[in-house]
Amino acid sequence: IGVSATFTPYFDMAIEIAKICKSIFSNVPIVAGGHHATAVPETVLQHEFFDYVIMGEGEERFLKLIAILSQDDLEALKQLDGIAYRSGNEILVNPLEKFIENLNQLPILKIEKDIGMLITSRGCPKNCSFCSISKVMGKNMRFRSIDSVLAEMRTGIEHGVRHFDFEDDNFTINKNHAKGLLQEIIRHFGNHHVTLSAMN
């Protein structure tokens, strides 16, 4: 069972969710992921309700963890980067090393109340002391192709979405890429009464 521990002020909620899950499914591993979990995996695992922490991007790492656990191959955990877990009384943290290079392969559009949530890039080369993005998503900027973003938007529009929110952590870090994307959105969807926001 995966539990998101993204924002530090809400970590108590993640603990409560994990506690409830563990009380119902006592033999099922509970896995924490997200920004808070990535920043302080040892602290997360001090709470008995969490069995594992996935650091950084979870799409591939979570599947690998499931495969390892289903084969009961705990030795393979030592080879999986970006994982924290307990071994006896010791908390082991495998450093985060790898990031998804091809963002076009990620799962598509998340729709919430007729709003499409889009991610067109990941990473940040900056070193701001107040921000965890480079630690979670890496310093290397990676961009989805404009065609893949347009295809995702088209799917959303076909399902009634008229507002799209760009969830990128640094949408305009490459201004030419952002302008190119926005120009193509206007060209393809300018007559669909689509509105856009970039809340980050």
Answer yes or no: are the C-beta atoms of 65 and 54 closer than 8 Å.
yes
Selection from 180, 42, 33 nearest residue 121 by Cα: 180
| Main-chain dihedrals φ then ψ at residue 169, nearest 5 degrees | -75, -20
* pLDDT computed for residue 145 by the predictor: 95
By residue count, the chain amounts to 200
Quick count: other Cβ atoms within 10 Å of Cβ 20? 12
- What amino acid is encoded at 147 in this protein? D
Per-residue pLDDT tens over the stretch 9-25: 999 999 999 999 999 99
What digits encode the pLDDT tens for the residues 109-165?
Answer: 667 778 889 999 999 998 888 888 888 899 999 999 999 999 999 999 988 899 999
| pLDDT 10s digits, 77-110 | 999 999 999 988 899 999 999 999 999 888 776 6
Q: Note the pLDDT of residue 109.
A: 63
Distance of CA 66 to the CA centre of its chain: 17
Report d(CA 124, CA 138) in Å as an integer: 7
Tell me, what's the pLDDT at 72?
83
Residue 26 has pLDDT above 80, yes or no: yes
Residue 49 has which token pair? 């309700």
User: For residue 110, what is the enclosing H or E element?
Assistant: strand 110-112
pTM, rounded to two decimals:
0.83
**Do residues 162 and 194 make contact, with C-beta atoms less than 8 angstroms apart?**
yes
- pLDDT of 58 > 70? The answer is yes
